[in-house]
Amino acid sequence: MKISVELAIAAAADADAVWRALTEGEELKRWFPLDARVTPGEGGAVWLSWGEGADWEAPIEIWEPGRHLRTVDPPPGRLAVDYFIEARGGETVLRIVHSGFGADAWDDEIETMTNGWRAFLVTLRQYLERHPGEPRTLAYFRHPVVPLERAEAWRRMLTAFGLPLDAAAGDRYSATAQSGDRFEGVIEVCAPPGNFTATVENMSDAVLMIEIEPGRGRCRPAVWISLYGDAGAGAAGLQGRIGDLVARAFPASSFS
């Protein structure tokens, strides 16, 4: 039995804009990976990178501009991602089907993949609706792997960012992190102990994602803030502060 992840999002953008966001390297970098390149057309490929050796190239099997894109990981993985685009009135609906997971896929893997896609789709919608054509600057920090259960890492991360532990998707929030930075907006994804994603209205409609990457008896805390416009000018300082903030939340002395 194969397992698939299927999600959809509607954006106030035309189908051509959504297609470009999926199939042009510079556009992909505005909502998805740290770096991207695309060789267009059937038989081409999409290369994505999140740094630290986390990069791969997926050949393109279906290329139907404005309608359907399909990439498939080379063997032995053979995981496929189908992007279906449909214009509906003044909006465009993007449906993603990530398929090919084997029956032996562990629950945390599927949960992490699902919530990761949910978070990236929020960022895509924010880019298309609030920042079309604007470059993105990322302020981010991935802490080294820690010997903690994800629930404990989740508690520490939300506490460090001043976020409520009883948060729920759809809630408005206002938080002051221990770094002194303020975050205000709407919670879009709240899936403990793995993913918290929210808009940040007071940072020119940025997107904040806190992720606890899974492992067996260990995990990796990470935070990614997608900044656009004038807010991007402060990315380096913000990245330094959140790096210090996350490091303080996981002192080595607390793992003994």
- The CATH number given to whatever domain includes residue 176 is 3.30.530.20
Q: What is the mean pLDDT of residues 132-147?
A: 97
Kind and range of the H or E run holding 226: strand 219-228
Q: Is residue 100 located within the same domain as residue 182?
A: no
- Distance between CA 74 and CA 197 in Å, rounded? 30
Asked if residue 78 belongs to a domain, the reply is yes
Asked if residue 206 belongs to a domain, the reply is yes
Residue 103 pLDDT grade (very low, low, confident, very high; cuts 50, 70, 90): low
- Distance between CA 74 and CA 125 in Å, rounded? 29
- Distance between CA 12 and CA 128 in Å, rounded? 7
Q: Is residue 156 located within the same domain as residue 230?
A: yes
Residue 251 pLDDT grade (very low, low, confident, very high; cuts 50, 70, 90): very high
Q: Is residue 250 located within the same domain as residue 168?
A: yes
Asked if residue 182 belongs to a domain, the reply is yes
Residue 253 pLDDT grade (very low, low, confident, very high; cuts 50, 70, 90): confident
Share of the chain above pLDDT 90, in %: 83
- Structure confidence at residue 240 (pLDDT): 98
Closest CA to 142 of 205, 57, 52, 202: 52
Asked if residue 205 belongs to a domain, the reply is yes
Q: Is residue 242 located within the same domain as residue 165?
A: yes
Q: Is residue 239 located within the same domain as residue 144?
A: yes
Domain hosting 185: range is 136-255
Is the pLDDT confidence value at 85 over 70? yes
DSSP code, position 167: -
Last residue of a domain, one of 105, 120, 148: 105
Match 């470059």 to its residue by tokens: 135
- Structure confidence at residue 106 (pLDDT): 56
Asked if residue 26 belongs to a domain, the reply is yes
- Structure confidence at residue 2 (pLDDT): 59
Q: Is residue 169 located within the same domain as residue 232?
A: yes
Average pLDDT in the chain = 94
Residue 215 pLDDT grade (very low, low, confident, very high; cuts 50, 70, 90): confident
Q: Is residue 145 located within the same domain as residue 246?
A: yes
Residue 108 pLDDT grade (very low, low, confident, very high; cuts 50, 70, 90): confident
Is the pLDDT confidence value at 194 over 60? yes
Q: Is residue 155 located within the same domain as residue 195?
A: yes
Q: How many domains does the chain have?
A: 2
Q: Is residue 242 located within the same domain as residue 191?
A: yes
Is the pLDDT confidence value at 38 over 90? yes
- Structure confidence at residue 180 (pLDDT): 98
Q: What is the mean pLDDT of residues 135-146?
A: 97
Q: Is residue 100 located within the same domain as residue 152?
A: no
pLDDT digits (tens, 9 = 90+) for 175-191: 999 999 999 999 999 99
Asked if residue 113 belongs to a domain, the reply is no
Asked if residue 131 belongs to a domain, the reply is no
Q: Is residue 61 located within the same domain as residue 146?
A: no
Ramachandran bin of 170, using left for φ above 0, alpha for ψ from -120 to 50, beta for the remaining angles: left
Q: Is residue 90 located within the same domain as residue 158?
A: no
Regarding pTM above 0.75, the answer is yes
Asked if residue 63 belongs to a domain, the reply is yes
